[in-house]
Amino acid sequence: MGSSENDKVRIGLIGTGRIGCIHAESLSFRLPQADLLCISDINLNAAKDCAKEFKVDNVYEDYRKILERQDIDAVVISSSTDTHAEIIKGAAENGKHIFCEKPIALDLSQIDEALQAVNNAGIKLQIGFNRRFDPNFKKIRELVSSGKIGKPYLLRITSRDPVPPPYEYIKSSGGIFLDMTIHDFDMARYLLLDEITEIFATGDVLVDTKIGDFGDIDTAMITLKFRNGAIGSIDNSRKAIYGYDQRVEILGSEGCATAFNKTPDQVAISDNQGIHTEKPLYFFLERYRESYIQEMREFIDAVKNDKTPPVVGKDGRISVLIAMAAKRSLEEHKPVKINM
């Protein structure tokens, strides 16, 4: 695309679930350089509801109708995981730039085929690891990259949901490591500016026995080793009764950087029972609303001004590779080496 200030990136949205509607809201009302022209979903009524709410005129049941349009510059893929790779290939063949939610696929060969199609077409692909765009986590990365806390020794990531997702979602999610922890694997690489070389994962079904019936776990503890010698830990739970728990800490040779939970306000009440503050924001859409807007803003900028997106296909592939290694470690009860 040209770099004229009058140019807008013309976008089609594929998939109108929770994340899809978040992106629709950003593209329609918060990003003046974007023009959301059309929406599709296999649930046509859901697509129509989303289009009505965000004032989009064109609605399709078949996403290929979007790919065929000559007036579309880019697509945002927020459909179910099992459709991502195929839609990426179709978008690439039609010369559309792509923003795709994680993961690209649950199979490395499918990921490689999709990334090859992107490479062959010479179009841009950004993967939806929105937490990179959270201001608090971004500042921690800057503290590490600038050397302010010295050489990193220890990384600790806490990521806990307030309630488990619906059973229907769990059945097709690929498991906790490919669905939930995949964000934390990406954050670990992002925050330390380094690659993970070894992983050890342990976990169990402690929250809801039915999750175990689907062959998944709901509670996990993961240890990471990094190329530069640092050690990391990730703890996950599908249920933290006090809210959406998202914390990060990095200890280095010259100091420690910590990102705390976001709360509705910063007020503390002190009385004879103790000191009381608000619980963390309850839902991920609230906690990361700002990061969803910012990641889409940077995608639009990459398309409009011919820049490399901040999260590329390789990042998406590596995160899946790590998640697969974690699953293998859990099954075999031993550390697993990761070869990129």
* Same domain for 140 and 110: no
Q: In the listed set 99, 123, 147, which residue is the last one of a domain according to the structure?
A: 123
Per-residue DSSP letters for 110-171?
A: HHHHHHHHHHHHT--EEE--GGGG-HHHHHHHHHHHTTTT-SEEEEEEEEE-SSPPPHHHHH
User: Under a CB-based contact definition with an 8 Å cutoff, are residues 247 and 261 in contact?
Assistant: yes
**Which two three-digit tokens encode residue 227?**
């190329």
Based on the fold, state whether residues 200 and 167 are members of the same structural domain.
yes
d(CA 46, CA 65): 17
Q: Quick one: 227 and 280 in the same domain?
A: yes
Last residue of a domain, one of 102, 123, 144: 123
* pLDDT tens column, 154-209: 999 999 999 999 999 898 889 999 999 999 999 999 999 999 999 999 999 999 99
Please say which residue of 123, 149, 174 terminates a domain.
Answer: 123
Give the C-alpha separation, 323 to 316, whole Å.
Answer: 11
pTM for the whole thing?
A: 0.94
User: What is the count of structural domains for the chain?
Assistant: 2
Quick check: is 236 in a domain?
A: yes
For residue 198, being part of any structural domain is answered with yes
Q: For residue range 73-92, what is the model confidence (pLDDT) as tens digits?
A: 999 999 999 999 999 999 99
What tokens appear for 11 in the block?
A: 């976008």
- Residue 299 counted as domain residue: no
Neighbours of 212 (CB within 10 A): 14
Q: How far apart are CA 40 and CA 51, in angstroms?
A: 9
Q: What CATH number does residue 229 fall under?
A: 3.30.360.10
| Contact assessment for residue 236 and residue 184, using Cβ atoms and an 8 Å cutoff | yes
State the pLDDT at residue 1: 56
User: Coil, strand or helix: which one is 288?
Assistant: coil
Residue that has been written with the tokens 């809201």 in this structure:
25
Q: Which range marks the domain in which residue 268 is found?
A: 132-290+319-337
CA pair distance 328, 270, nearest whole angstrom: 48
- Helix, strand or coil, per DSSP, at residue 251: strand
Nearest to 130, CA basis, from 186, 71, 177: 186
Task: State mean pLDDT over 283-303.
Answer: 93
